[in-house]
Chain A
Amino acid sequence: MKEYIILIGNYGSGKTELALNFALRAADAGKKTEVIDLDLVNTYFRLTDRGNLVKSKEIRLVSPNFAGMNVEALSVPAEVASAFAGDWDTVIFDVGGDPTGAAALGRYFEDFAELPPGSLTVLNVINTKRPMAGTSERIIELMRDMERYSRQTVSGFVNNTNLAKLTGPGDLAEGYEIIKQASIETGIPVLYTTGKKEFLDAFLAEGHDPKYIGTPMAIDTFMHRDWDSFTRFGL
């Protein structure tokens, strides 16, 4: 069955990283995969900066109309419609990290509504180490705003708590407690817990309630948002 995954969540939660990881997994499993970069807000550290990586895996990437890295005049390309018309197994939407960014998704409300039941998953990616996501109240407030602007309903949380290069073994557990609280308050399940393999394995060994872990998924890092990687590898 076709699967559509929408990734929402605030800036720095790791949406773009997860979009790349989901896409590469799908492509490696032989699925025909398309990734839609719908982030019209951010102009640095974009999924489109990883265009060559995506192309090397024969994943189709749709980027906002983009004049060049020196200006911001981003607009939604007509090509996004290919997500609903093309013969894809997996389509992943990477959306801008605030209600304004999520508004770009609202444009496709009718297309999403016509998808076969069960084929759409809207994931709210959470990194509780980010200042706007440190409590369940804040997470829920931001989620409700993004749902309203995007005209979508969140299917589940993703615990992607990290401190970039300084991520430690306790970070996923800290995120687990806060997201568990948000899950209890909203009834929205935790669908994934993601992180670098070493931290994920350590977290899983701690014996937390699987109900609030969801599917564990080890991820690779492609987006060099931190200094040391940036100064070595560039954007």
Chain B
Amino acid sequence: MALTLMKGSEAIAEAAIRVGCRYFFGYPITPQTEIPEYMSARMPQIGGTFLQAESEIGAINMVYGAAGTGARVLTSSSSPGVSLKQEGISYIAASEVPCVIMNVMRGGPGLGSIQAGQADYSQSTKGGGHGDYKLVVYAPSSVQESIDLMTIAFDVAEKYRTPVLIAADGMICQMMEPVELPEMIEHKIDYKKMPWAITGEHESDTHKRAIINSLYITVEELDELNERLQANYRKIEENEVRYEAYNLENAEIVVTAFGTVARICKSAIDDLKEEGINIGLLRPITLWPFPYEAVHKAATQPGVKAVLDVELNAGQMLEDVKIAVNGDQKIEFLGRYGSHMPTAEEIYDKLLQMRREF
């Protein structure tokens, strides 16, 4: 296994390239600027296209265009920039074309801060743009997982013809970790599998004319699109839920957390285990589809007396945890706003305090 020491942002960019991404459109914003920087150097080496757009709005519409050809395309931004992309994302979802969008979350709202945040959970999972659409949302908690999820993200985007969002945070992109990268693959557009993709050529026996569009003139046609999208989302909910269960056996408290924060929770859980106290962790890897069943099951297993949800926001995933638990378990929340990373000690102390109150 050949390990390389990589910064999260470089690793994310290289992973996208290795799984066949040849188009990147973006605009700089801290803490993800190293992704476009890396792409600007790397894409020309492998015959790909890097383009710094005039704005985030420009970038997402370039993604929309490239995605319509069936090519693997990525854009990346951070919270305020991703807000600007929302209209385009809604169009991409409505046009049923695959792409991957990175959101390296920072503190918000507004211009917020350049430090890590998780306050775009609701925007990512509840439809930040207009209309009845969903994004598949992955939340990596390490540099290696960011790499591994990039492969999955492109595959899922193509399988379901849907935009996929990877919600990382500033810490993951700025952190350096030893990682293993996937082998470089050659991604060829297979028009047999992607008859919807535009070719730029006249209709032929092998390829019918394809139209990428999100405007539907009649009520019936728009209804048909919405029915198709919803059926697709139900399939995704059925097949694509991912989560990590950690130390759930004999747990007294189950912690729910995602991304960076989940990893800090793990440190607290490991420390408590050394003291002979068992705390479990249920970490959603897909924020949508949310692992409702797994969270309910973990929260209500025998011996569990409470759930602690920890987030770097005011309690956005907490709403989904509450839906999952459905009143069957006591839930407490430990939150810090973006750019104020909780320490393992704070989580450790909170868990001990909860135990005293059993």
Residues of A whose CB lies within 8 Å of any CB of B are 11-12, 43-45, 69-72, 127, 129-131, 134, 162-166, 225-228, 230-232, 234-235
Contact = CB atoms under 8 A, between A and B. Distances in A.
Interface in B42-75: none
B114 A43 contact: yes
Given A226-B176, A227-B263, A231-B267, A163 B107 contact: no
Contacts, number: 76
A231 B177 contact: no
Contacts of A164: 5, 176-178
Interface string B325-357: 000000000000001010110000000000000
B115 to A, nearest CB: 6
24 contacts: A12-B5, A12-B7, A43-B31, A44-B31, A44-B170, A44-B174, A69-B115, A70-B339, A127-B5, A129-B5, A130-B6, A131-B4, A162-B5, A163-B5, A164-B176, A164-B178, A225-B176, A226-B175, A227-B177, A227-B263, A232-B267, A232-B344, A234-B341, A234-B343
For the complex of A and B, the 5 pairs showing the least CB-CB separation, nearest first, are A70-B113, A44-B174, A163-B178, A166-B178, A129-B5
A45 B176 CA distance: 10
B339 A69 contact: yes
B171 interface: yes
B176 A228 contact: no
B142 A129 contact: no
A71 B113 contact: yes
B10 interface: yes
Interface in B94-140: 107, 112-115
B263 A129 contact: no
Interface size class of B (residues with CB under 8 A): 20 to 34
Contact of A230 (B3, B6, B7, B171): B171
Q: In this complex, which of A11, A134, A228, A231 has the most chain B Cβ atoms within 10 angstroms of its Cβ?
A: A231
A225 B177 CA distance: 8
B255 interface: no
Nearest to B41: A132
A233 B171 CA distance: 14
Nearest to B174: A44
Given A129-B5, A231-B344, 5 more contacts: A12-B6, A69-B113, A69-B115, A164-B178, A225-B176
A130 B179 CA distance: 11
A69 to B, nearest CB: 6
A109 B52 CA distance: 33
Contacts of A131: 4, 6, 10, 14
